[in-house]
Every structure is written in structure tokens, then in C-alpha cells.
């Protein structure tokens, strides 16, 4: 009679996973290892840590699933693609191939838009998110400023599949989604919008993103913005002037070295009070301006 296979403890499996992810250059191997184990076990990261301390044993199926997920993550496939979800502020958004994975730095961009929307002198202010991708900024505005009306535009077929799913998942009745070219979005809202927000593609065409998760898995249409990275920003400036009412705000995410150039674009188009804002790491990541 064959001897039974030795049982795998969660703590042993985690040590092996973390070592493999570290060898693959994953930036936070311990965090990712624990999050993958949490996904397998249907619990949170704290639950995984508690189970490891208790000496819990993995079932053969769970051990095999964890090994498979760690193998995928070691290829630098984004963690969010593997688990199918990306946290964003208080939301969990469905993501996968074809849509840009929302980043923590975009939460600050959403905060700028939310603050401007809350300050709008209207009982029912209007906001627009151009190039909404997963819907992160639009759905954050809609759920955190429930008296606002939020309109989101996306023009990528691959991304729109995920956007629709997230709008249905969140179920914000004050948010509307449209598949439309950004340059011609929402003409019926011209002159009525309090906040125009966007996280556009802003990587220069010749630049190569450092992280494999970005370089190989994020859709190029969500990354590259022309020779200087600002082609879409130039479109946004004009569209924002069309949409915004006097005193309305535009909020644009960008690379940390692009603030000065974007302020110049906005000022040349007639926006006022252009200002660039740092994220929590003190890198300039968003620029705002006011429509005269």
C-alpha cells in the first residue's frame, strides 16, 4: 500500500511562494503571496496570516491552485488579472486582459475630482470621465458624491466589456456609460459639466514602461499618447472647454515630469488657474484647471 502524500502546511506553501515570487523580481512578494493564498482560500490577507500561525494544512486541490497562481504571477502577469479584481478606494473592480488596471496613484486623481464635484454650486452637479477604462474614476465619483450625475465615456471595445461589467456590479443609478469617441463625447452636456476628469494614455511612444506588468499586459491604447505622450491631453483640453460650464474644473492624470507641459497646454487653450498636484509619494501626478 502506497504511503499517503505528505500534507502541505499553509506556512510552508507561503514560504515557497514568496521565495519564488522574489526570485522572479515581483516587487512585493510577501504581499502577493498572501493575497494569492487568500484568493485560493476565499478569505482575506489577515485570515491567511492567522491560518499560517495556526498551522493549517492546505488540501491537495488548494495547494495545486496556489502553485498555479504563483507560477502565473512569477511570469509577471498582474495579480489583478489572476484574481480578477482590482481594489480602488472603497470599490472592487473587475479587470483582465484589454483594460488598464487602476493604480493607487489614480485614487488621488479621483479625490481631486470628488472634491471639486462636492464643491460645485449645484444640487445635482454633472461630472464626466473621459476614457474611463475600468470605470474607476467615474464610479468613485458616482458613489462618493451620490447627488451628482456622472457620465463616463470609453472608446475601446476590449475595455468596454469590463466597464459594462463594473457599472452593473456597482449599480450606481446616478452613473451612465457610453461607448463613444472621446473627442465627440456627450454633446448634449455642453456647457453644463462641473468636473471633467480623465486618466488618459500619457506615455511617450518611444518610452518603454519599466514594469513587465505594464509593458506586457496593459493595453497599448491605454498607455501611449504620441511622441510626447500628450496627444490625448490636447484633445481633452478642447473637449473639456466644450463640456464645462464657467467655473468648471478639469482634472487630468499624467506622468510625474509632464505637469509643466500640461499646464502650458491648458493655459494656451484658455483654462485658468492651472495647478499640478503631487501624489502621496510627492510625485507630480495630476493637473487641474478652471474654465473661465
Q: Note if 100 is an active site residue.
A: yes
Residues 129 and 273 sit within 8 Å (Cβ to Cβ): no
In 10 A of CB 213, how many CB atoms? Answer: 19
Phi-psi sector, 42: left (phi>0), alpha (psi -120 to 50), beta:
left
**Catalytic member of 29, 78, 102, 200:** 200
**Catalytic member of 39, 160, 199, 217:** 199
Phi-psi sector, 226: left (phi>0), alpha (psi -120 to 50), beta:
left
Instruction: Give residues with Cβ within 8 angstroms of 133, minimum separation 6.
Output: 99, 100, 102, 154, 156, 159, 162, 163, 199, 222
Burial 140-171 (b: 16+ CB within 10 A, else e): bbbbbbeebbbbbbbbbeebbebbebbbeebe
Q: Note if 200 is an active site residue.
A: yes
Give the N- to C-terminal CA distance of the chain in Å, as an integer: 84
**Catalytic member of 100, 160, 167, 186:** 100
Catalytic residue ranges: 100, 199-200
Amino acid at each position: 500500500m502506497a504511503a499517503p502524500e505528505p500534507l502541505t502546511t499553509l506556512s510552508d506553501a507561503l514560504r515557497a511562494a514568496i521565495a519564488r515570487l522574489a526570485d522572479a523580481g515581483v516587487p512585493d512578494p510577501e504581499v502577493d503571496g498572501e493575497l494569492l493564498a487568500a484568493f485560493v482560500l476565499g478569505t482575506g490577507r489577515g485570515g491567511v496570516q492567522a491560518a499560517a500561525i495556526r498551522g493549517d494544512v492546505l488540501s491537495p486541490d488548494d495547494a495545486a491552485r496556489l502553485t498555479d497562481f504563483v507560477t502565473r504571477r512569477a511570469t509577471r502577469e498582474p495579480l489583478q488579472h489572476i484574481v480578477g479584481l482590482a481594489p480602488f478606494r472603497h470599490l472592487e473592480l473587475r479587470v483582465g486582459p484589454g483594460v488598464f488596471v487602476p493604480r493607487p496613484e489614480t485614487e488621488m486623481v479621483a479625490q481631486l475630482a470628488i472634491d471639486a464635484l462636492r464643491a460645485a454650486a449645484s444640487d445635482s452637479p454633472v461630472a464626466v470621465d473621459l476614457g474611463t477604462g475600468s470605470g474607476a474614476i467615474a464610479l468613485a465619483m458616482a458613489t462618493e458624491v451620490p447627488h451628482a450625475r456622472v457620465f463616463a465615456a470609453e472608446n475601446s471595445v476590449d475595455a468596454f466589456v469590463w466597464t459594462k461589467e463594473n457599472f452593473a456590479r456597482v449599480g450606481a443609478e446616478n452613473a451612465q456609460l457610453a461607448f463613444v469617441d472621446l473627442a465627440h463625447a456627450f454633446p448634449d452636456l455642453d456647457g453644463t459639466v462641473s468636473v471633467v476628469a480623465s486618466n488618459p494614455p500619457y506615455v511617450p511612444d518611444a518610452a518603454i514602461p519599466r514594469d513587465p506588468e505594464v509593458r506586457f499586459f496593459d493595453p497599448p491604447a491605454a498607455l501611449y499618447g504620441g511622441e510626447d505622450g500628450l496627444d490625448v491631453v490636447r484633445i481633452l483640453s478642447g473637449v473639456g472647454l466644450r463640456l464645462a460650464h464657467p467655473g468648471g474644473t478639469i482634472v487630468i492624470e499624467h506622468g510625474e515630469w509632464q505637469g509643466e507641459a500640461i499646464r502650458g497646454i491648458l493655459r494656451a487653450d484658455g483654462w485658468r488657474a492651472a495647478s499640478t498636484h503631487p501624489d502621496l509619494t510627492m510625485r507630480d501626478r495630476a493637473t487641474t484647471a478652471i474654465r473661465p
